[in-house]
Structure 1
Amino acid sequence: MIPSNEWLKIWNEKRNLLACPNNLNDYFEETSVAGKKIDHLELGSVSIPTGEILVRDPLVYVQKDAEPYLIKVPRGEFPVTAAVVVPDGEDCARYAAVKVQFTAYDAIHFEEALIGTEDLVDFNEGEFFGFNVDAGLACVLDKETLKHFCSFQDKFNKENPGKNLYDDYFAALFASNYAENPDYQREGGDWINWKIPGTDYHIPFFQSGFGDGTYPVYYGFDIDGNICALVIQFIDIELAYGEEE
């Protein structure tokens, strides 16, 4: 979708308010944040054939008309890493953030990824738009892989009337991945790297931190102003776990 000139004008005026309040590099480079031990889990690669990407709950919000983010990213296969809050006996492992790394350069600035239809008029510092999660999972898609995912959904529903896509298809994949890669997963599985049947495209699915909610997605920009990463922030570690002032 091409945003209106008025939207672009307001966006450029308010871009500084879209910056992430946290240094997300710490989530992926440090071993502890706000007193919580952090580890890193490799989730395989994600396929980005067109560079037009979006982040969605794969069980609820994957629809043919879903719009990608306004700014394109590099095309190809890119590694996906989760920053995990290590369990300390009181809770399970929580995925605080998930990063797609597009280049070898480090991000020096993180800014929320937008579609181009958001209401920016009354947007203020400390707010974010984000994407919705209703099934405790998220995934990174490309406009092309979205098309194949929707075709798979339609075919499954047509061939399996009365059956549920998660219970009767994905649950077995999550359980199998848990058996093969149990680190930082609950029984039943917390992530998979799904290869869409009939294609060579991969879509990683992963748990959304504390579960259902609305979560921001940030582009990482390098020193030259180019996009080098995408980070989904599920948990503001400093806010959730840091000591109250």
Structure 2
Amino acid sequence: MQPTKEWLEKWQKAKKFLKPVKNLEDYFTLKEIAGKELDVMDIGLCSIPTGEFLVRDPLVYLGSKYEKEYFQKIPIGEFKTEVCVVKASDEDCDRYAAVRLKFNDNEISYFEEAMKGIEDLEDVNEGDYFGFAVDAGLACICDKKLHDLYCEFYEKFAKENPDGNIYDDYFAKLFEESYKDNPKYQRDGGDWINWNIPNTNYHLPMFQSGFGDGVYPVYLAYDKDNNPCQLIIEFIDVELAYSETDEEDED
């Protein structure tokens, strides 16, 4: 469903405020920010067969067929899922600061926040974002077709396991196996999986959401010809989060 003409008119005025306050590409090109060492991890392909997409918590929200896709579209294909990791220190474990799908090597001209086309755009200020909610510490980038298949899987699991829990009874063992196979930048319970939807060839990576539950922005990067070249989820503003921590530690 496309946004109304009235909403699009408001968005044209508001979207200049709904962009990142920094260059998000830094998470994938710099080796450190705010004194924190960074690395980039490839967790495998993400399948985008239609170009319509949403970003959601897979355990809490993705299983609902009523979840709405963003109105912007992205290229169709299989794209590498890159995770910017803030490396563990004495005080903390490895944290996932950002996740990216890079569609091509075009130079970024500008960013837009991914939008559903139903947001209330009154009183939007610079640096604001709408974001998506995480309530189970996980997130995923999901094509519309994969969303439909996931809902079918979710409903089937619920019907066959009326007293079950989809994480404890299904996904937990997959996360544990992911840790055993790829322990780098994971806790022993597992922090990411690249899940094949059963009976398909579609890849749906799931990954930890930085500091856990919260609301996180999703941005699309466009080139000079207004074509999308990257999708980036920002989980942690590394400079803001860790600079404040360092200052508090010094007091």
TM-score normalised according to structure 1 size: 0.97
SS in 2 for 1:61: coil
Distance 1:170 1:241 in 2: 31
Number of residues paired by the alignment?
Answer: 244
Partner of 2:157: 156
Partner of 2:91: 90
Partner of 1:236: 237
- Range with greater deviation from structure 2 (1-10 or 130-139): 1-10
Partner of 2:206: 205
Distance 1:124 1:34 in 2: 26
Distance 1:107 1:175 in 2: 37
Post-superposition CA distance 1:18-72 (Å, at most 9, x none): 1110111110011111211000111101111110010000000111121111111
Partner of 2:17: 17
2:34 and 2:243 in contact (8 A); partners too:
yes
Post-superposition offset of 1:16: 1.0
SS in 2 for 1:8: helix
CA RMSD of aligned residues (A): 1.1
Distance 1:207 1:143 in 2: 21
Post-superposition offset of 1:214: 0.3
SS in 2 for 1:111: strand
Post-superposition CA distance 1:118-166 (Å, at most 9, x none): 0002211121100000000000101100000010011111122211100
Distance 1:144 1:197 in 2: 14
Post-superposition offset of 1:224: 2.4
Give the share of equivalent positions with the same residue, in percent: 56
Post-superposition offset of 1:231: 0.4
Partner of 2:119: 118
Post-superposition offset of 1:225: 2.1
Distance 1:132 1:17 in 2: 20
Task: For 1:30-179, list aligned pairs within 5 A.
Answer: 30-62=30-62, 63-179=64-180
- Range with greater deviation from structure 2 (235-244 or 176-185): 235-244
Post-superposition CA distance 1:194-230 (Å, at most 9, x none): 0000111110000000000000000011232210010
Unaligned runs of 5+ in 2: none
Distance 1:129 1:148 in 2: 26
Distance 1:108 1:210 in 2: 29
Post-superposition CA distance 1:59-101 (Å, at most 9, x none): 0011112111111111011111000000112100000000011
2:176 and 2:189 in contact (8 A); partners too:
yes
- Range with greater deviation from structure 2 (103-112 or 164-173): 103-112
The ranges of structure 1 where at least 4 consecutive aligned residues each deviate by more than 4 angstroms after the TM superposition are none
Distance 2:35 2:97 in 1: 14
Partner of 1:29: 29
Post-superposition CA distance 1:107-127 (Å, at most 9, x none): 232221111000002211121
Instruction: Answer yes or no: is 1:187 the counterpart of 2:182.
Output: no
Post-superposition offset of 1:176: 0.2
Partner of 1:3: 3
